[in-house]
Amino acid sequence: MEVLSPEEILQTLDDRGAVDNMPFMPEMLRHAGRRFQVSASAHKACDTIDTYRNRRIDDAVHLGVRCDGSAHGGCQASCLLYWKTAWLRPVDGPVPTPPSTTAPVTAVNTAVVDRAARAASPKATDRRVKYSCQATRLVEASIPMRQRDLRQYWRDWASGNVDLWTMFRYMPLALYNTIVWRTGRCRVIPSFEGLAGSTTPTEALGLQPGELVEVKPMDEIAATLDAHGRNRGMYFDVEMMPFCGGRYRVHKRVDKLIDEKTGYMMNMKTPGVILENVVCKGCYHPERLFCPRDIHPYWREIWLRRV
């Protein structure tokens, strides 16, 4: 697919800089005119703001391109960007080598796109910057979807997002976990129990991008979690369990990111870590099954060890 020119993109946007409430963000303008292969269909996404369930998104794809946060206060979440089909055109031929990622866009008036990166504060006296982005507006840009809507799983397979082996492996597990949650019997699979009590331990390794680390076994990580599965407020999700024991390189340290619920920037008291090629695949939670957002989990350094 080829991203349209800035002039063509601006013609598709409403006065809020969006198509179907999905904003076109300033960070996306540098990709105008470039060619990409579609990395996944973005026909659904897990709602990390309200319900924590999958919601339907129409006419959108992922191109494997992540937000660098440059227009959003340096947010370090590295969210996978959504591309509405209105911003793309199909093309034939090879994908060219990407040009510089810092090329400025000055040929058009991009004020509507720039305005879309900010939201009005609910209180006139609030001097904090309230950001607006695809993550904070995901609920507006999507439609509620029932877990038992089987069409979503057909689209997961037909689009190439999920292969048959993955479906046959995880869909029976999702059915089992759904029954467990509704009946309150047995335990969901997989599961863990935090053992640290109310005061969770900390460890500072000072990890830097490029360093090789090993994720500790689940029993060691459980010893750092409270009864809610958190270490100093950071949640360890079951989707992170498959990475236990694996070795990965540090992609970046995360000191600040936008709170998707409020739009305000959050500064972490203790930095988290993002690992290369480690993303949530939505395989274990039935209501987020096969979500293609590829969200980066955040790792406490106490859950890792240097190799």
Q: 264-280, pLDDT tens digit by residue?
A: 999 998 889 999 999 99
Boundaries of every domain in the chain? 1-145, 163-306
pLDDT of amino acid 102? 46
Q: 148-163, pLDDT tens digit by residue?
A: 888 999 999 999 999 9
What's the whole-number mean pLDDT along residues 164-183? 92
- Whole-prediction pTM: 0.90
Q: State how far Cα 205 lies from the chain centre.
A: 25
Q: Are the beta carbons of 58 and 20 closer than 8 angstroms?
A: yes
Q: 20-65, pLDDT tens digit by residue?
A: 999 999 999 999 999 999 999 999 999 999 988 999 999 999 999 9
Write the DSSP string, 52-112.
Answer: -SEEE--SEEE-S-B---TTTTT----PBPPEEGGGEE---SPPPPP--TT----SS--HH
Q: What is the separation, in whole angstroms, between the first and last Cα of the chain?
A: 40
CA distance 168 to 71: 41
Q: 194-219, pLDDT tens digit by residue?
A: 999 889 999 999 999 999 999 999 99
pLDDT of amino acid 3? 96
Percent of all residues in the chain with a pLDDT value above 70, rounded to a whole number: 93
Cis peptide before 98 (omega within 30 of 0): no
CA distance 12 to 79: 23
Percent of all residues in the chain with a pLDDT value above 90, rounded to a whole number: 77
